[in-house]
Amino acid sequence: MYKVFLVEDEIVVREGLRNNIEWEQCGFTYIGDAADGEMALPLIRELKPDLLITDIRMPFMDGLALSALVRKELPNTKIAILSGYDDFGYAQQAIQIGVEQYLLKPVTKAKMIEFLTATRKKMDRDAGQKSYLEQFMQEAREYEQFSRRRFFEQLTAGGMSVKEIYETAEELNLDINAQSYNIVVLFLNSVSRRGENPERYTDELAVLQEKLVQFFLACPEYLLFRWSVTTYVIMIKGTPDQIEMRTANCIENISRRCEEYEGEIVWHIAAGTPVMRLSAVSGCFSEAMKIISYRHMCPDEHILTEDCLEKWKRSSGSGVSTSTIDPELVRKFLADGTQNEVELFLTQLLGKNGDEALNSLMFSQYFSMTIFLKTVEFVESLGCRSDDFLTAELRGRLKETDPAAVKSNMKHIINMALDIRDRESRKHYRDLLAQALDYIDGHYCENTISMNAVAKAVNISPSYFSAVFSQEVGQTFVEYLTQKRMETARRLLLQSDMRSSEIAGAVGYKDPHYFSYIFKKTQGCTPRDFRGGGKSEAVLPPKKH
């Protein structure tokens, strides 16, 4: 039911309309009335009607003045003017204001019912279009689009001027205007069990990811970006008074959702220190990334803070001891660390004494051998031969005792292992991607197909699948799926006698109206116009020779 409010200074007319019209049968709920615009305005502001019917000539505030204010404050409210004056000047002003209908008195019951019925149908169409637009925007506004990721990478690299930042954000339809900013980094992955790939599909990770994405898409104060396969970045906006609270709220909402999957999901959160300028966001991001890198040293801490780091540093001891080097930390870093984190990881591994610990020959040798053996073990677990990268020259360098050389050699070895890991992952995921594309080709006409369903079919986590798909295909999953459906829809429109509603179902859309909306949005014309040949040449793909 749509809400309707009436403003009419003649009590007989007002009561007659109120009592003699079957409002609910026409699709409306009568929520109130007033004798003039001045009395009506505060009620309208409070009740927010979908339809306002107002007389044009009233004391204190006339209908045109009231309509102008309502149009400004409640732009979605439809307005109809009642007037006993067949005056072109009034009609002209009403049109300029944006009034939907100009009704001349006396308004009969039949005439009012006709008007209400037509208005309800128009409002239904408008509501449908709005709903379709929101659904389309939700699908098209995937947070991991290449353009968004590139924008955030450039923003955090500090290589864009403020003018370029705002211009690029406007092109991407990103609202970045705020007085203060903060960065929250989220690391998210499934728990690896013996013999299992941590990137495998799990229902828990799929559901959690969807919950988090929906939360952030619904909150305009948060902008969600993908940074890597397992890492997400949330850019928080607000005033200086709001930013701390919004940061805490962001962390609390992530934590609450992640805690539901304790034991199934590996997750860590870190936040930077709020900044007052866009140009300072890169520093805020670097701070948050440095803190999140300590997840290797503090695996049991989900919310990493400077206090956590200080606690770990105190517990790491002040003496030089081989017991401070945990081989398991090296294995875990090789599994999910990044090359940007290698230098910091080695510093963390050395403990409180830092590089000075390498002045001890015994400690230096143990440090080198631990990393060397764990790296060899890791590379061989990927199905690769360690001899392929551990050359005789590199093995000879392992005998060096200079602290700087020792650390440099270990950094080099780990980086090579990460290169091999990423190369093997790309090969593995190209095979999985081929399977995924085959699956999409066979199921894209089903209305139940989704990114999670495809990821499950090839046994890869939705997070990994989404990142790999967009990287390798050059489109997001939704863009690719929509393209496949539209190609089939075009062919059916030209080569069959099926109705548009039948074609909608045949290509995977339950709602034929939404199918028509998507078709027009992506192809530039309605299915009917396309079939008629008006724009077929413009939208048909080029013929293959």
pLDDT tens per residue across span 477-508: 888 999 999 999 999 999 898 999 999 999 99
In the chain, domain spans: 2-140, 145-311, 316-443, 479-539
Residue 502's pLDDT is 93
Q: CATH fold of 145-311, please?
A: Alpha-Beta Plaits (3.30.70)
Q: What SS3 state is found at 56?
A: coil
- Tell me the HSE value of 475 on the side-chain side, using a 13 A CA sphere: 12
CATH number for the domain formed by residue range(s) 479-539: 1.10.10.60
Quick one: pLDDT at residue 3? Answer: 94
Distance CA 225, CA 147 (A): 10
Q: Is it the case that residue 108 has pLDDT exceeding 90?
A: no
pLDDT at 251 over 60: yes
Strand order through the sheet with 303-304: 222-226, 231-238, 180-190, 265-271, 303-304
- What is d(CA 296, CA 69) in angstroms, rounded to the nearest whole number? 59
pLDDT of residue 201: 65
Mean pLDDT of 17-41: 90
- Map tokens 């290698």 to a residue: 342
pLDDT tens, residue by residue, 432-444: 888 999 999 999 9
> What's the confidence (pLDDT) of residue 146?
62
Question: Among the ranges 32-41, 140-149, 232-241, 517-526, which has the highest mean pLDDT value?
Answer: 232-241
Q: Return mean pLDDT, the chain.
A: 83
Higher pLDDT, 450 or 51: 51
pLDDT band at 539 (very low <50, low <70, confident <90, very high): very low
- With DSSP H G I counted as helix, E B as strand and the rest as coil, what are the percentages for the chain, rounded to 5? 60, 10, 30
The residues, ordered by sequence, that sit 6+ positions from 151 with a Cβ below 8 Å of its Cβ are 168, 169, 172, 174
Q: Give the pLDDT confidence score for residue 536 in this predicted structure.
A: 42
Confidence of residue 379 (pLDDT cuts 50, 70, 90): confident
Please say whether the beta carbons of 236 and 246 come within 8 A.
yes
What is the average pLDDT across 70-91?
78
Position 534 confidence tier, pLDDT thresholds 50, 70, 90: very low
CA distances from 139 to 295, 411, 451, 477 (A): 33, 42, 11, 10
Least confident of 11-20, 391-400, 498-507: 391-400
Mean pLDDT within 170-181: 89
Confidence band, pLDDT 50/70/90 cuts, at residue 125: confident
In terms of Cβ atoms closer than 10 Å to its own Cβ (0-12, 13-18, 19+), residue 65 is middle
CATH ID of 2-140, from 3.10.20.600, 3.40.50.1820, 3.90.1150.10, 3.40.50.2300: 3.40.50.2300
Q: What is residue 491's predicted lDDT score, i.e. its pLDDT?
A: 92
Angle subtended by helix axes 462-473 and 477-495, to nearest 10 = 60
pLDDT at 288: 94
Q: Are 80 and 100 in contact (CB under 8 A)?
A: yes
d(CA 290, CA 286): 6
Q: Residue 186: what pLDDT?
A: 95
Sheet hosting strand 2-7, strand order edge to edge: 28-34, 2-7, 51-55, 78-83, 101-104
Range of lowest pLDDT (30-34, 416-420, 540-544): 540-544
Q: In this model, does residue 132 exceed pLDDT 70?
A: no
DSSP per residue, 306-374: HHHHHHHHHHT-SS--GGG--HHHHHHHHHH--GGGHHHHHHHHHGGGGGGGGGSHHHHHHHHHHHHHH
| pLDDT at residue 426 in the model | 76
Average pLDDT of the segment spanning 358-379? 85
Tell me the average pLDDT across 177-193.
Answer: 86
pLDDT greater than 80 at residue 540: no
3-state class (DSSP) for residue 383:
coil
Question: Which residue did the predictor score with more confidence, 437 or 400?
Answer: 437
Above 90 in pLDDT, residue 245?
yes
User: Cβ neighbours of residue 219 under 8 Å, at least 6 residues apart?
Assistant: none
% of the chain surpassing 70 pLDDT: 87
Please check the confidence at residue 425 and state whether its pLDDT lies above 80: no
Upstream peptide bond of 75 is cis (omega within 30 degrees of 0): no
Q: What is the pTM of this model?
A: 0.59
Which pLDDT does position 507 carry in this prediction?
93
**Greater confidence, 335 or 312?**
335
pLDDT higher than threshold 50 for residue 313: yes
- Taking 70 as the threshold, does the pLDDT of residue 319 lie above it? no
Query: Per-residue pLDDT for 320 more than 60?
Result: no
Compute CA 439 distance to the chain's CA centroid, rounded to the nearest angstrom: 25
Quick one: tokens of 497?
């006698």
Contact call for residues 125 and 246 (beta carbons, < 8 A) = no
Q: Reply yes or no on whether the pLDDT at 90 is more than 70.
A: no
Q: What is the DSSP letter of 200?
A: S
Q: Which two tokens stand for residue 196?
A: 């299992």
Cβ-based neighbours of 389, under 8 Å, separated by 6 or more: 379, 416, 417, 420
pLDDT of residue 330: 87
